[in-house]
Structure 1
Amino acid sequence: MGIRLNHILAGALAAALVLPAVSAADVTLPRTLAWSAYGTNSSGYAQAVAIGNMLQNKYGTSLRVLPGDNDVSRMTPLRTNRVDMCACGIASYFGSEGVMMFADPEWGPQPVRVITTSIASFGLALAVAGDLDVKTPADLRGKRIAYVRGDDALNKGTEAYLAFGGLTWNDVERVDFPGYGRSFDGIIAGQADASFTTTVTPPAQQLASSPRGIAWPELDHNDTEGWKRLTDTAPYFQPHRITSGAGGISADNPYYGASYPYPILIANADLSEDTVYGLIRAMNDNFDDYKDSAPGAAGYSLENQNLKWVMPFHEGVVRYFREKGIWTEDMQAHQDELIKRQELLASTWATYMASNPPRDADAFRDGWMKARADALTAAGMNPVFE
């Protein structure tokens, strides 16, 4: 089975980091790499096992994984340098922007860099009761749409799908639910009509098996105006041909919708360029060794990488793509703009923290979000979150 992944102990990790690096086929990696990830029953953790086996077998590098129950617990070890990387979700983007759970005195905008991402066969979409005549997001006008209290990421996804159809929350009936699962219970019970989810999640399967059935409003990939509205609202989404999901979605019956990567492997900007270069090269040179070893692992393929996404790539990754002849001047210009955005957010955060901001959590967040939006707008950048 290759290596056994263990929880990281601070003392053991500190000792491991002083071991010399090992090389194979011009790839230089430390003896031990550490990253945080989703829980042990997640596909992200299983992918880490598969990649870790490859690294051990090919390079003698041990991968140690610290599983985390939520976004903050996964990113905290990265912030405190207990791990080298985080196999995170879209919260990594929220962290880089300093919004939602990161609009907090302990956090603020994070200097993260992308190493690689995985795009799998599923998508992220609004699941709609199948007994309604909803074929596109524009058909959701006047419908009862779930709003999940305390889950900003889900609600932002809903907002993005509505925006594709030229709608806002004001054009639908918002129905609040205390949790994600309860929103699907509400659809089945006739209390709501749609909720945001992944196409493969069990609640979506349950809705598909219910008397109401399930429908997925299609996002026309040629509708440039619709996509602009969607990405202005949530720029981390991208068009995706979805081939797995509830309601009969398959390779023979694809659904044209949207997705964003999961996991997103990130590091801090100051992680060694040689380490990152070695890892991304190892993952691409030995892709066949792990692509079929865990659900979703095939999503790390080179052709699945979006090189003009919403967070900057690590310099070690840029170096690798330059060597491959893939990295273009246009990509570099996009990279430079993303780094400029991060630097502006960091300086705005420093100024805000030095201004004796309110101690009340809500007042602190409101003040920061205004300062952030003002700074980005003045620089000609889309605040996205306001």
Structure 2
Amino acid sequence: MKRRDVMLGSTALVLAGGSAAHAKLPDSSVWTAYDLGSSGYAEASGIADAIMKKHPMKVRIVPSGTSIGRLLPLKQGKATYGFLANELYFAAEGTYDFGVPAWGPQDVRVVLARPAGNAMATAGDIGVKSIKDLKGKRIGYVKGNPSVNVKTDAYLAFGGLTRADVEVVWFGSYNAMKTAVINNQLDSFSSVTTSANMREIEASPRGLTYPPFPPSDKEGWDRIRQVADFFEPYRETAGAGISKDKPIDLVGYRYPMIATYANANADEVYSLVKAIDESMDLIKNITGSAINWAPKVSGKPPADAPWHEGSIRYLKEVGIWTPEHQAWQDKRMERLKKIQAGWADARKKFKGKDEEWPAFWEEYRVKTLGLHPSSA
């Protein structure tokens, strides 16, 4: 797939260790992120501001409430980086909204991936103490956003629930769910704990609570991983109603992940990681979790796609990237190439109509590639 790098000019940077200055940042760059009010948008904006204070680069951020809306500008070459959620995983796998003929497995790469906790943000006035208490409640889903929807399915599974056990409420954008909770049109939806949306719900008459995901509940965690295998127990210490003195056991994953396509300019990607590393004094206080953007934290696998060569080059230079990380990278690249080759083979063998393709591809993934089903 061809795309045009957003590289209108360059600024030379001094490389680590005083080596020759070959790395470059563009004069202008376009990034995508979740919509206004999300922690992803806040952190994309804050990182852009921090870099622009130290380097003559202008950044424009394009917000979108859907996975397709965040990734399509990258595919089209209209943006270079996206602050993405788990749509990155689905795009690499060619599943869910990316399992249609127009998409398929994308040759995407991770630049940096911040560890994060995720929760079912739940109105505090409905008596929910555990995930199983969400039975019969109004649960938010977003059209065109498998990142949100699969997480929600996984979290319900922790409590032994499915969509059939709750009242599913569909929205056109992620941000709309916050307003719906405050207006008593929705009871719960998946979210990070540090976004401005959570502060608004916490301050509303309904209040805010997060049903926990105890690591000791092995059966619950087995059920989560049957839906999606990239989740781990995570003790959250920051966010609305959460502190180091009042932590809570939630679900760990990577969000946001700065992502791009494999053919993004490696020198530019290197320079972006370096610029973020050198701007952490300004970045660390953007949100309660922004300190985790430091490459020594966000520059380590696992994440939802392989890492970009430009990132790896910088991470190696500063001693962050280890042989264990490279082993993970090699395995992840092998999986990505297997899926890409499988997609090409399946497309050759497919003789049906476009609307029949997703089911054909799902069966091919499971039976021919030996991959887990992409839906619960």
The TM-score range, normalised by the shorter chain, is: 0.7 to 0.9
The residue matched to 2:254 in structure 1 has which SS?
A: coil
TM-superposed CA distance for 1:198, in Å, is 4.0
TM-superposed CA distance for 1:40, in Å, is 7.5
1:197-253 CA-partner distances (Å, limit 9, x unpaired): 444564895488556x6542212235556434423422333433334555x333432
Matched letter for residue 148 of structure 1:
Y
Question: What corresponds to 2:95 in structure 1?
Answer: 99
The answer as to whether partners of 1:147 and 1:174 remain within 8 angstroms in 2 is no
Matched letter for residue 364 of structure 1:
W
Gaps of 5+ in 2: none
**Aligned mate of 1:286, from 279, 290, 293:** 279
**Aligned mate of 1:52, from 39, 48, 61:** 48
2:119 equivalent to 1:124:
yes
- TM-score, normalised with respect to structure 1: 0.77
Question: What corresponds to 2:311 in structure 1?
Answer: 317
- TM-score, normalised with respect to structure 2: 0.78
Identity of aligned residues (%): 26
The answer as to whether partners of 2:26 and 2:268 remain within 8 angstroms in 1 is no
Gaps of 5+ in 1: 1-9
**Aligned mate of 2:85, from 89, 102, 106:** 89
Provide the alpha-carbon RMSD of the alignment. 3.7
Distance in 2 (alpha carbons) for counterparts of 1:249 and 1:75: 31
The answer as to whether partners of 1:47 and 1:295 remain within 8 angstroms in 2 is no
The answer as to whether partners of 1:158 and 1:196 remain within 8 angstroms in 2 is yes
2:173 equivalent to 1:178:
no
2:264 equivalent to 1:271:
yes
Residue 147 to residue 49, structure 1, CA distance change in 2 (3 Å): closer
2:68 equivalent to 1:72:
yes
Distance in 2 (alpha carbons) for counterparts of 1:331 and 1:103: 29
Distance in 2 (alpha carbons) for counterparts of 1:316 and 1:222: 39
Question: What corresponds to 2:330 in structure 1?
Answer: 336
TM-superposed CA distance for 1:36, in Å, is 2.5
The answer as to whether partners of 2:140 and 2:188 remain within 8 angstroms in 1 is no
The residue matched to 2:349 in structure 1 has which SS?
A: coil
Question: What corresponds to 2:372 in structure 1?
Answer: 382
The residue matched to 2:312 in structure 1 has which SS?
A: helix
TM-superposed CA distance for 1:116, in Å, is 0.8
TM-superposed CA distance for 1:52, in Å, is 3.5
The residue matched to 2:260 in structure 1 has which SS?
A: strand
Distance in 1 (alpha carbons) for counterparts of 2:45 and 2:181: 37
> Bigger CA drift: 280-289 or 320-329?
320-329
Residue 285 to residue 222, structure 1, CA distance change in 2 (3 Å): farther
Question: What corresponds to 2:341 in structure 1?
Answer: 347
Distance in 1 (alpha carbons) for counterparts of 2:276 and 2:209: 37
Residue 303 to residue 66, structure 1, CA distance change in 2 (3 Å): closer
Matched letter for residue 117 of structure 1:
A
Question: What corresponds to 2:111 in structure 1?
Answer: 115
1:345-376 CA-partner distances (Å, limit 9, x unpaired): 11121122223453343x22222222223233
Distance in 2 (alpha carbons) for counterparts of 1:210 and 1:298: 31
Question: What corresponds to 1:372 in structure 2?
Answer: 365
Residue 55 to residue 158, structure 1, CA distance change in 2 (3 Å): closer
Matched letter for residue 59 of structure 2:
R
- Structure showing greater radius of gyration is 1
TM-superposed CA distance for 1:48, in Å, is 3.8
Distance in 1 (alpha carbons) for counterparts of 2:214 and 2:152: 17
> Bigger CA drift: 33-42 or 70-79?
33-42
Question: What corresponds to 2:213 in structure 1?
Answer: 219
Distance in 1 (alpha carbons) for counterparts of 2:73 and 2:15: 31
1:158-197 CA-partner distances (Å, limit 9, x unpaired): 32223334x2428x623232337579968986x9875434
The answer as to whether partners of 2:239 and 2:288 remain within 8 angstroms in 1 is no
Distance in 2 (alpha carbons) for counterparts of 1:210 and 1:285: 42
2:143 equivalent to 1:153:
no
The answer as to whether partners of 1:126 and 1:161 remain within 8 angstroms in 2 is no
TM-superposed CA distance for 1:67, in Å, is 0.7
1:274-315 CA-partner distances (Å, limit 9, x unpaired): 222222122113311333357754331235325223321112
The answer as to whether partners of 1:146 and 1:177 remain within 8 angstroms in 2 is yes
Q: How does 1:161-172 map to 2 (within 5 A)?
A: 161-165=155-159, 167-169=160-162
Question: What corresponds to 1:240 in structure 2?
Answer: 234
The answer as to whether partners of 1:280 and 1:320 remain within 8 angstroms in 2 is yes
TM-superposed CA distance for 1:17, in Å, is 3.1
